[in-house]
Amino acid sequence: MLKRIVPALLLLTPLFTLAQNKMSPELLWKLGRVAGLGISKDGKYVIYSVNTPDWETNKGTRKSYMIPVNGGTAVETMWPDSLLYDKNVSPDGRYSLTNKEVKINKVAGKDFYPELTKSNVQIYDNLNDRHWDTWEDGSFDHLFLSTVGKPGEEKDLMPGEPYDCPQKPFGGDEDYVWRPDGKAVVYVAKKKFGKDYAVSTNTDLYEYDIEKGTTKDLTENNKGYDLSPSFNQQGQLAWLQMKRDGYESDKQDLVASTGMGTVNLTGHRDDIHVEGYRWSDDGRNIFFWAPINGTLQLFEVDYTGATKKLPEIRQITKGDFDVTGIIGQSRNKLIVSRTDMNHAAELYSVDITDGSMTQLTYVNNSIYNSIAQCKTERRWVTTTDNKKMLVWVIYPPDFDPNKKYPTLLYCQGGPQSPLTQFYSFRWNFQLMASQGYIVVAPNRRGMPGHGTKWNEEISKDHGGQAMKDYLSAIDNVSAEKFVDKNRLGCVGASYGGYSVYMLAGIHNNRFKSFIAHDGIFDLRSMYGTTEELWFVNWDWGGPYWDKKNAAAQKSYNQFNPINYVDKWNTPIMVVQGGRDYRVPIEQGLQAFQAAQLRGIKSKLLYLPDENHWVLSAQNALVWQRQFYKWLEETLPPVDKTKSNDKKGF
């Protein structure tokens, strides 16, 4: 026995040493990105893919695997699609659906003047001239119906219509679904064009009858989003719905059809904003995930009770983690994707009866086992209006309460997006904390998961209570003896970038460093160049020229960061994507130019080929390295005024 123990202890020594390593940008970009594809036709296996980026080649590799639904050894499969049901083939096997671009409108100079083949001109007489990261070229994604076994026979379901299905820029095949009898297709489209498209969020569900060749609007009476249609085996339809046109962050509910019409299954729960869902295999219930109290959790709603006044909703899982998707069902278990602030997505099985979870995939364990983990902590902070606000605090892996640490206030984007136990490959809390920083991440005003009122209080008040919430959070944590008040920083992207610009003018010398990524710097020029006008119309109150609109005038004057530049006095790094048409390039350039002309230490990180995010591996690594280089210069993780005193040379 002793002879076996000694070698075992020796083997543990390098593992213990490795466990002292910390997450780095290079390690982060070696993590495999796990995506569940579904459960095999025979119900025995979970099929999933792993995309592993290679920053050295700026490419990635994607492999697919199958693993028993009850756990076991994963086996690579070369043909994952052959193991799964093809949702694009009709249930009777007669037809298949595809989508492709169709040229409908003239835009290019050569569209109007065919003889000028070398011209490079775009001509518009209506909005949207561009969207997200792409200029409009007159082409639209359309659905096509093909007869199986008869190549070349295909029919455009939207002939000549200037509308998209799937929806641009993020829609996929979840935007269309077969009716179980195979006689009709239900698809999502926003059948508006130009300016009407730019100011509206009103997507609808359309049913195309194959035999008749006719289309019916199923959600004509609803003026907001209708998304993600799905049928159970009995033919009942469910989908996600928002009520108000122009409000992209309205409460998102799960609705379903019954013999008595459409029933809202989650409308009676003020704290539930449904992110996604899946019918149970027997069609009697619907499983969904939603933000709740700073996490994403799994829920079940009783569809058979849909005719009741208040359908029963049961929370299945609890804990400091996020359930980020449902892959499928195997008897009394659901296969889900799960993350937390220390772990990228892996697949788990969930016992539906008691919520217990069993990990199925361990794609990144070799890396996790070699690095130290970061402690995450819930903290409740009293706001200036006497409300209780959840604040996540993330500590360095080797945290010592007897030392003093630089601390970062993290400002979430959205603005109405949940701040949960997510795992980002850019705004990564584990990576930030592993460089020696405490991270303070407040669930400030404007985040779902804390009730509709809390979520909606940010609209038309972007620079108001939310800014006070940020300062309440950092002031509360800064009262701890382990926080160095002389080394506080503030970072964020999108609305978080706006927050950085805004706080730079009102922080009252709290912070020593700022980083703003794709943030709004000037509301007026933003209104004149952004492409999705519904957002600025709803959240700011309307256009800047409407002098009679008190809400709009308050936004453009009181909540406009550019109006506070005279108070800027702190180093700031500005990050701007060249293909970001949501928060266009002039926002970052104006902020950098203002800082430079005021003589403030500043840096511009310009990414000409990136949009609102950073998608290229090497661009992302430059981003990470510059991010931490800037913090090293302006907010060093080690207090250098003390660290050199005892070196003895």
* Backbone angles phi and psi of 125, in degrees to 5: -125, 15
Q: Is the Cβ–Cβ distance between 322 and 338 less than 8 Å?
A: yes
DSSP classification of residue 294: T
pLDDT over 90 (residue 12): no
Q: What is the pLDDT of residue 641?
A: 52
Please count the CA atoms within 13 angstroms of the CA of 165 that sit on its side-chain side.
Answer: 32
Q: State the burial class of residue 144 (Cβ atoms within 10 Å of its Cβ: 0-12, 13-18, 19+).
A: middle
Element at 112 (helix H, strand E): helix 109-112
Percent of the chain scoring above 70 in pLDDT: 95
Residue scoring higher pLDDT (16 or 344): 344
Q: Which of 446, 613, 538 shows the shortest CA–CA distance to 225?
A: 538
Strands 513-517 and 154-156: unpaired
Find residue 276's DSSP bridge partners: 289
Nearest to 342 by CA among 27, 8, 608: 27
- Of 49, 612, 616, 639, the active-site residue reads 612
DSSP per-residue string spanning 384-440: TTS-EEEEEEE--TT--TTS-EEEEEEE-STTT----S---SSS-HHHHHHTT-EEE
Percentage of the chain modeled with pLDDT above 90:
91
Place of tokens 């199958």: 66
Q: Which residue type sits at 514?
A: F
pLDDT score, position 639: 66
- With 70 as the cut, is the pLDDT of residue 15 above it? no
What is the three-class DSSP state of 44?
Answer: coil
Task: Give the mean pLDDT of the chain.
Answer: 94
Q: What is the mean pLDDT of residues 7-29?
A: 60
d(CA 226, CA 238) in angstroms, rounded, equals 10
The CA dihedral of 63, 64, 69, 74, to the nearest 10 degrees, is -50
Residue 249 known to be catalytic: no
Backbone Cα Rg of the chain: 26
Instruction: Quote the DSSP letter at residue 453.
Output: H
Domains of the chain by residue range: 94-250, 372-640
407 - beta bridge partners?
Answer: 438, 488
Considering the candidates 131, 230, 580, 602, report the single residue annotated as catalytic.
580
* Sign, CA torsion 104/109/112/117: negative
Question: Which is it for strands 276-279 and 285-292: parallel, antiparallel or unpaired?
Answer: antiparallel
Q: In this structure, are residues 484 and 639 in contact, taking their beta carbons and an 8 Å threshold?
A: yes
Q: Quick check: helix, strand or coil at residue 158?
A: coil
What is the structure's pLDDT at 109?
A: 97
Instruction: Convert the pLDDT of each residue in 224-241 to its tens digit.
Output: 999 999 999 999 999 999
Select the CATH number that applies to the domain covering 372-640 from these four: 3.40.50.720, 3.20.20.450, 2.70.240.10, 3.40.50.1820.
Answer: 3.40.50.1820
Residue 462 bears catalytic tag: no
In a 3-state reduction of DSSP, which class is residue 550?
helix
Per-residue confidence band for 643, with pLDDT thresholds at 50, 70 and 90: very low
pLDDT-based confidence at residue 645 (cuts at 50, 70, 90): very low
Give per-residue pLDDT as tens, 591-640.
999 999 999 999 999 999 999 999 999 999 999 999 999 999 999 987 65
Give one DSSP letter per residue of 329-372, joined into a string: EETTEEEEEEEETTEEEEEEEEETTT--EEE---TTHHHHTTB-
> Exposed (0-12), middle (13-18) or buried (19+): which is 412, by Cβ within 10 Å?
buried
Phi-psi region of 196 (alpha: psi -120 to 50; beta: other; left: phi over 0): alpha
Instruction: Report the alpha-carbon distance of residue 113 to residue 121 in Å, rounded.
Output: 11
Is residue 164 part of the annotated active site? The answer reads no
Half-sphere exposure of 90 (CA within 13 A, CB side): 20
Which tokens hold the place of 337? 């994707």
Helices 533-540 and 550-558: angle between axes, nearest 10 degrees: 100
Q: Which CA distances in Å does 474 have to 341, 407, 413, 454?
A: 20, 9, 17, 20
Retrieve residue 309's tokens: 């006044």
Q: Nearest CA to 379 among 465, 495, 514, 480?
A: 480
- Rama region for 43: left / alpha / beta (φ>0; ψ in -120 to 50; rest): left
pLDDT band for 17, please (50, 70, 90 cuts).
Answer: very low
Q: Which residues does 98 contact at the CB level (< 8 Å), separation at least 6?
A: 88, 143, 144, 146, 154
Residues 6+ apart with CB under 8 A from 446: 414, 415, 416, 454, 455, 456, 457, 458, 459, 466, 495
C-alpha span between 327 and 411 (Å, rounded): 31
The Cβ of residue 282 has, within 10 Å, a number of other Cβ atoms equal to: 12
- The band of 307, judged by pLDDT with boundaries at 50, 70 and 90, is low
- Give me the amino acid identity at 421: Q
Report pTM.
0.94
The stretch 54-60 carries a mean pLDDT of 90
**Residue 642 pLDDT greater than 90, yes or no:** no
- Average pLDDT over every residue of 506-531: 98
> pLDDT per residue over 210-221, tens digit each?
999 999 999 999
Q: Which of 494, 513, 555, 602 is catalytic?
A: 494
